[in-house]
Amino acid sequence: MLSIITITYNNFEELISTLYSIPESEKIESIIVNGGDCKKTKEFLLNYKGKSISEKDNGIADAFNKGVKLSTGKYIMFLNSGDILINPSYLDEAVNILDNNKNISFTHSNIILFDEDGTEYFVKPTQTNIGRGMPYTHPTMIVRRELFNTVGMFDTSIRIAMDYDWVVRLEKLNYRGFYINCDPVVRMNSKGKSVIMEAEAIKECLIILKKNNYLNFINLTGYIRRVILFSMRKLLISLGLKNVLKFFKKNKYRFST
């Protein structure tokens, strides 16, 4: 069983788009954690076939944790409201790999990012040193449920980069992942907190590295590079040079097809 956890907060239309992208299967357990007070969402969940909970939460990390506790699947995936699953075959491939390779703790893959400038980019995970940021695309990660017993749950004191904190702890314990280089698995937009509040997220990442005693020379170098690149992007935007920024993005990623 694969449990797909979807958290939502007053964005009914995006929630519906996400749920419609998840295949109906006896092997998939859909779990919705609703922390908002949207009337449409609450009414919809009254007759929803999957599992759901509607109550106030203490932020995104708390909502993630509620979803994990509700789940019963052997494997867990987080597909937030607004994220669209565009390659359902990835689910079967990931589960098959995990079933047959006990030394692999999670899988991850590629995404399509719908940028704020209206362009879609094909994004592969960086898989570089963790000081640079998330080495994996979080919406594509399918992890063994048992990892939450050893790595722990999401830290509710972290407002934005709680997934980064969890992956830092995952990496410190030397858990091994498997990259499935296939067609993009998820289409996500750039409206998430980690994008909108990127400056705050970057600050949190430094705190997280220190908290986990993981601010070694390599990770510090990666973090400094991340800050420099972020500052350069903000400078280009402030100078009205968004087309230049788009040029650099085209070279970093490639357009989706």
Q: Give yes or no: residues 38 and 16 share one domain.
A: yes
Over the stretch 81-98, which tens digit does the pLDDT of each residue have? 999 999 999 999 999 999
Q: Give yes or no: residues 175 and 196 share one domain.
A: yes
Compute φ and ψ for 207, nearest 5 degrees: -60, -40
pLDDT value at position 114?
85
Over the stretch 168-208, which tens digit does the pLDDT of each residue have? 999 999 999 999 999 999 999 876 555 678 899 999 999 99
Q: Give yes or no: residues 127 and 216 share one domain.
A: yes
* Cβ pair 58, 78 in contact under 8 A: no
Domain boundary among 23, 50, 84: 84
For residues 114 and 191, what is the distance between their CA atoms, to the nearest angstrom?
A: 9
Q: Which residue ranges in the chain fall short of pLDDT 70?
A: 116-117, 191-195, 244-257
Q: Give yes or no: residues 136 and 242 share one domain.
A: yes
Phi-psi region of 222 (alpha: psi -120 to 50; beta: other; left: phi over 0): alpha
Show the domain range for 218.
86-257
Neighbours of 57 (CB within 10 A): 19
The pTM is what?
0.91
Neighbours of 69 (CB within 10 A): 12
For residues 147 and 141, what is the distance between their CA atoms, to the nearest angstrom?
A: 13
Cα torsion angle, 71, 73, 77, 82, sign: negative
Q: Give yes or no: residues 209 and 127 share one domain.
A: yes
DSSP string for 148-179: HHHT----TT-SS-HHHHHHHHHHHTT--EEE
Q: Give yes or no: residues 184 and 74 share one domain.
A: no
Structural domain count of the chain: 2
Q: Give yes or no: residues 75 and 121 share one domain.
A: no
pLDDT value at position 243?
73
